[in-house]
Structure 1
């Protein structure tokens, strides 16, 4: 079994001026992905590395919890 395959990721989202930002966080390795979706529907994916303060940072930046389904729909271009 691959290392990290049993990790339950955490998902967050925020919308700013019509731009949606979705974040997936691996709470053990502090890695993840960020999807930025422009108002015209164009999406960009970035691989991310976080520090132990990521959850405090997300809260301070007014991110709210999101569902894995929503993140993965955007990730796979189904929205």
Structure 2
């Protein structure tokens, strides 16, 4: 089994926040949309090699794995 340190990104859009987890080896990940009412939508993603440029262009900032995983596991509400 290969150990991978994922990268995490976040952007707040006012009414919702998007958090992204990227596996830098496989370029796969998860995108979470966290709505103001606490609802969380989860999507599995496959990225291309330009994902980091795309995230920067869309003004995503690096964020914490802890925050991402709290939302992923349903242990927090709201954005």
TM-score range (shorter-chain normalised) is over 0.9
Q: Determine which structure has greater relative contact order: mean sequence separation of CA pairs < 8 Å that are 6+ residues apart, divided by chain length.
A: 2
1:24 positional shift: 0.1
2:6 is matched with: 9
Aligned length: 76
2:23 is aligned with 1:56: no
Unaligned regions of 5+ residues in structure 2, if any?
none
1:20 positional shift: 0.7
1:39 positional shift: 1.1
CA RMSD after TM alignment: 0.8
TM-score under structure 2 length normalisation: 0.92
Displaced runs of 4+ in structure 1, greater than 4 A?
Answer: none
TM-score under structure 1 length normalisation: 0.92
